[in-house]
Structures are given as C-alpha cells and as structure tokens.
C-alpha cells in the first residue's frame, strides 16, 4: 500500500506527467484531496526542504489571497532556481510588495480593457491569416499549424516584436518552459538544462535591448515603446524590463496555445458538446470558454513560500521558509466546488475555476487577452472547418508545470 505522503511523490515525476492519461491523473488527485489534501512531498537530496502539496480548491483560494503569509518572492517554481537563472526569470510573478504593485501598475497599462478592445481586429485578422495557410491536404499537426502561431503573433505584435523573430522566440520560450523535455533540451543533466535556459534567455534579452534602443529612437504604438517612454520614477529598470519581456513572451504564448489545443481535443472527444456549442456559438461561448480553461488547466501549479512561523491554514501550522504548492489542476476538479467535475460540460455555470490563478495580487495579467483570443479562435476555426477533429492521441510535454500538448494531429475538410 502507498503511504499517505508517498501518494503525492508522483507530482514531481516528470515521466508520470507525460505518460499518464487524464483518468489516472484525476484518480490520483481525487485520492489526495479526499485523504491527504496537504500532503508533504520530500525532495530528498535535490532540495531537502520538500513542499506541501495543496490540492483542494479552498486552500488554493485562501493561500492566493494571503500574500503577506504566503509569498511569491522566493520563487514560484517548486525547485529553487540557480542564481544564474533567477537573473532572467521572475519579473512580477516572482515579486512581493512593494516591488510587485509598483511594477504591476506600470506594466498593466498595456493590458487595460481599452487597449484590448483595440486589438480585437488584430486577433481576428491574424486568426484568418493562419487559417488561410492551414494545409490544403486537410490533415496536419494542430499545434504547429495553428495553436503555436496565434498567441505568439498576438503577443509579439502587442510588444512590438517584428515577425522575422518569430522562430527564434518560439525556440527560446519552448526551451525555457519545456526545459524538462528532451525534445527541447536533449541534454537533460542539471548543467545541460541550466546552459540551454541561460542561452535562450540571453537571446531574448539581446532582442529586447535592440528593440528598446530602436523604440527610444522611433516610438510606436506598442508596449515596448510605452515602457521605454515612461517618465523617470514611473518606469522599469533595464533589468526589470528584460525580465518582464521574458515573462510576457513565455506567458503570452505557451499557455493560450495549450488551452486551444486541449479545447480542440476535448471537443473532438465530446462531439455532442461540440455540436451543442456550434448550434449557437455566441450564446454558448462565455460558458464554453471557461469550461475549456477549467478542463485544460494550462498552468498546473504555482508555488508560494511561508513568510513567518505560525502561519495557519485550517488546522495546519507552517514554519517560515516552508514551500506550499498550489495545484490548480486539482482545485479545478474538486467535487466540493464542481458538480461532476470529471464531466466536460460547456454549459457549466457557475464555473469558479482557478486556471488563471485565484483572485489575489498575482491573478493572471493576460486573462482578458487569453479569453479574447480563445473566443475569436474557436469561432473562426469551427466556422471554417466545422468537421475539424483530433486524430489519435496528443503527445504531451514532459512537465509538471505547463500542461502542454506538443503535437496533436487533426483532420478537416479543406475550404
């Protein structure tokens, strides 16, 4: 019999994440939520501290609301990052107040509802451009031919990155966010991963520096111009700017890509749900998009660190420096909150999923943008290819952080 805490050990087994299907993941998290919702996972030699795996919706919600007790500034990845990597990663996602609110206020200007409304046309035209180029053979890898391209082109356009850098950016963000997968970093030794991630980050920083210089000389209507033009005291330091840029190109494309692909896969496996949605796309879109986000949970977890001794969560008391990990993927299938959580239901309402994190200071800055992209993309996709469907099974990313689909073959009747 597996011991109470050992049941949670698979959470750090990347092969388990890549090789197990949804049913097995669900069974494991159901058992953890029921029997040991705050399991301790010991990290042995790699990081003796270990972490508490919080799997219930209520705990994830509460911890996210209490940044003074559960901080992000010590890192939001399970494993502490080597110093060299922390130079490049982090930005607002790994900050606490007062820095967090200062920087978030500055960067949020590029993501107000007003600036988003102005990019609706860009999302529509980019979607159509990508659909026009879908292979005429009526069969392709959906990830390469659609899901990767849309969010990447939108975030690049918003940041003001010219199209010629698309392949480079994709390679770099795949390396950074897919670091535990040998398809992206063949040398999976600790040094091999650190080298590859450092190089990818340096490539991105070089690109940003060149663009910033260019925008100082010739400002345009994009986020980089806005940030470099901000007044003294109301702007980012060059290092904050570089980290923000890396966060945005990664967060802006590696997440929405997976929501799109998981969505197409789920709709193919649940054709009655797809038909019900397509019968009146716009009426069902608001609930259908939220259900895809819940179902996909593109970000599997985030970490927090306990800020002082005696922090309490329910009947549990934590000590300073202990790590707690918020398993969004589990919270989003918690039957204390969701009726029939393992049923994919495009009419689910209410749907208080935590795919974008829980309400709190770090709630996803790109949530409105992601919803806009998903809404426009699914409508255009299924209007153009009503019989679009997945063929076979997806190839999953080897990761316990990004619920990534690397490849998904689809077929459709070309138009």
Footprint of ligand HEM on this chain (CB under 6 A)?
64, 92-93, 104, 155, 247-248, 251-252, 255-256, 259, 298-299, 302, 328, 355-357, 360, 362-366, 369-370
Using the minimum distance from each CB to ligand HEM, give the nearer residue, 173 or 255: 255
Q: What interhelical angle do 271-279 and 367-384 show, nearest 10?
A: 90
Residue nearest ligand HEM, CB atom distance:
366
Upstream peptide bond of 98 is cis (omega within 30 degrees of 0): yes
Kindly report the backbone phi and psi dihedral angles of residue 383, in degrees, each rounded to the nearest multiple of 5, phi listed first: -70, -40
Q: What are the angstrom distances between the C-alpha of 415 and each of 132, 297, 326, 383, 385?
A: 9, 32, 44, 11, 8
Kindly report the backbone phi and psi dihedral angles of residue 265, in degrees, each rounded to the nearest multiple of 5, phi listed first: -65, -45
Smallest distance, ligand HEM to C-beta of residue 32, A: 19
Using the minimum distance from each CB to ligand HEM, give the nearer residue, 7 or 397: 397
Burial annotation 25-44 (CB, 10 A radius, 16+ → b, else e): bbebbbebbeebbbbebebe
Smallest distance, ligand HEM to C-beta of residue 268, A: 19
Using the minimum distance from each CB to ligand HEM, give the nearer residue, 143 or 355: 355
Smallest distance, ligand HEM to C-beta of residue 297, A: 7
Helix (H) or strand (E) holding 100: helix 99-108
Using the minimum distance from each CB to ligand HEM, give the nearer residue, 106 or 134: 106
Using the minimum distance from each CB to ligand HEM, give the nearer residue, 31 or 58: 58
Smallest distance, ligand HEM to C-beta of residue 203, A: 20
> Strands, DSSP E only, in 81-210?
139-141
What sign has the CA pseudo-torsion 154, 159, 162, 165? negative
d(CA 241, CA 337): 39
Smallest distance, ligand HEM to C-beta of residue 38, A: 18
Smallest distance, ligand HEM to C-beta of residue 368, A: 9
Structure tokens, 385: 């290819």
Using the minimum distance from each CB to ligand HEM, give the nearer residue, 7 or 236: 236
Using the minimum distance from each CB to ligand HEM, give the nearer residue, 148 or 155: 155
Smallest distance, ligand HEM to C-beta of residue 89, A: 12
Question: What is the DSSP secondary structure assignment for residue 336, as one 8-state letter?
Answer: T
Using the minimum distance from each CB to ligand HEM, give the nearer residue, 196 or 333: 333
Instruction: Tell me the three state secondary structure of residue 360.
Output: coil
Smallest distance, ligand HEM to C-beta of residue 74, A: 13
Smallest distance, ligand HEM to C-beta of residue 58, A: 15
Using the minimum distance from each CB to ligand HEM, give the nearer residue, 7 or 372: 372
Smallest distance, ligand HEM to C-beta of residue 147, A: 11
Work out the angle at residue 297's Cα, subtended by the Cα atoms of residues 173 and 127, and round it to the nearest 5 degrees.
Answer: 60
Using the minimum distance from each CB to ligand HEM, give the nearer residue, 66 or 411: 66
Q: First-to-last CA distance in the chain?
A: 55
Instruction: Tell me the three state secondary structure of residue 238.
Output: helix
d(CA 315, CA 258): 36
Q: What residues are paired with 411 via a beta bridge?
A: 139, 389
Alpha helices in 187-319 (DSSP H): 190-217, 223-229, 238-254, 256-269, 271-279, 281-296
């Amino acid at each position: 019999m597996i011991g109470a805490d050992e049941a949670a050990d698979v959470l750090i087994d990347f092969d388990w994440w890549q090789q197990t299907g949804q049913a097995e993941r669900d069974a494991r998290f159901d058992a953890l939520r029921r029997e040991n919702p705050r399991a301790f996972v010991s990290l042995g030699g790699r990081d003796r501290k270990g972490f508490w795996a919080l799997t219930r919706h209520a705990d994830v919600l509460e911890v996210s609301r209490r940044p003074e007790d559960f901080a992000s500034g010590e890192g939001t990845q399970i494993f502490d990052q080597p110093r060299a990597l922390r130079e490049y990663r982090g930005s607002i996602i790994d900050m606490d107040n007062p820095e967090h609110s200062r920087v978030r206020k500055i960067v949020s200007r590029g993501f107000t509802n007003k600036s988003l409304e102005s990019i609706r046309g860009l999302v529509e035209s980019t979607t159509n451009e990508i659909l026009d180029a879908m292979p005429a053979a009526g069969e392709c890898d959906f990830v390469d031919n659609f899901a990767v391209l849309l969010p990447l082109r939108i975030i690049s356009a918003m940041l003001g990155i010219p199209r010629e850098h698309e392949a480079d950016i994709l390679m770099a963000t795949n390396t950074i966010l897919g670091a535990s997968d040998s398809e992206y970093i063949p040398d999976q030794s600790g040094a091999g991963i650190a080298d590859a991630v450092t190089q990818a980050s340096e490539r991105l920083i070089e690109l940003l520096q060149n663009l910033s210089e260019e925008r100082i000389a010739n400002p345009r209507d994009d986020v980089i111009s806005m940030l470099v033009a901000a007044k003294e005291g109301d702007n980012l330091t060059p290092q904050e700017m570089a980290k923000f840029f890396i966060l945005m190109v990664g967060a802006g494309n590696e997440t929405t890509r997976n929501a799109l692909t998981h969505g197409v896969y789920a709709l193919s496996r649940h054709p009655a749900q797809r038909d019900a949605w397509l019968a009146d796309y716009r009426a069902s879109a608001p609930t259908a998009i939220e259900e895809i986000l819940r179902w996909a949970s593109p970000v599997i977890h985030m970490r927090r660190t306990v800020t002082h001794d005696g922090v309490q969560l329910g009947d549990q008391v934590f000590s300073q420096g202990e790590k707690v990990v918020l398993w969004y993927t589990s919270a989003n299938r918690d039957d204390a909150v969701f009726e029939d959580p393992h049923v994919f239901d495009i009419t689910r309402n209410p749907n208080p999923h935590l795919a974008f994190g829980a309400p709190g200071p770090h709630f996803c800055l790109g949530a409105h943008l992601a919803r806009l992209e998903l809404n426009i993309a699914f409508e255009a996709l299924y209007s153009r290819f009503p019989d679009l469907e997945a063929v076979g099974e997806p190839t999953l990313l080897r990761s316990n952080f990004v619920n990534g689909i690397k490849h998904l073959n689809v077929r459709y009747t070309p138009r």
